[in-house]
Amino acid sequence: MKESGGPLDAEAIALLFTRDGQYLCARWGRPIAPVIFGLADESLAVFRDATRAVIADTRHPLAETDPEMGANMMSFFVRDWDELAELPDLDRLTGQEGLADRLKDRDADQYRLFRFDPDGTIRACMKFVNMGGKLAEAHPAQLAEALAVNSMLTFAHEVTPTPQLAALIRAAYDPVMPAVARDPSHALRLAARLPH
């Protein structure tokens, strides 16, 4: 995971949301209805509680169901990427053919995919996590928090939870801030809202 422990000034914030030269910071525009597949009951509680805690910290509404999709924050845990082939309609769900093979070729341990509403806000987030490789020894609570944090905004790169990052996410969810920003000057506004 990329470290986010340094000072979060406007330049560092801009890098968090810039991919291929394009700045995008979007937050959820609808209540979040999370669901988790593939975990044993004892792990499920840890991940569910961590997800709810991260969402609560942003003061964004949580829902039991999304009226259109049922669940809109979906986490799929597998022991091997080949297990994704058992998911019905995976290609339709993700809009990507051959996802399992690509993840295997990349030796990826996780993959995150956002879907957006017409106004550009996050409509859904799908997370695929391979617990059979590098993440096998991961601390469940830390992994759960990291997955939730990375799902709250359109980070260009994976980020590691820190108190500073939590403050940044809260700032991005401030009602006076735009729900979607494509101009890097947005990073200046976020930086101004962080505690110094």
**Per residue in 49-105, pLDDT tens?**
999 999 999 999 999 999 999 999 999 999 999 999 888 888 888 989 889 999 999
Domains annotated on the chain, with CATH: 1-26+154-196 (no CATH), 28-152 (3.30.379)
Longest dimension (CA), the chain: 49
Distance CA 142, CA 130 (A): 15
**Per residue in 117-163, pLDDT tens?**
999 999 999 999 999 988 888 899 999 999 999 999 999 999 999 99
Residue carrying structure tokens 């169901």: 65
Q: Which amino acid is at 136?
A: A
Joined together, the tokens standing for residue 126 give 């799908």
Joined together, the tokens standing for residue 114 give 């956002």
Q: Output DSSP code: residue 9.
A: -
CB contact at 8 A, 163 and 70: no
Q: pTM for this one?
A: 0.92
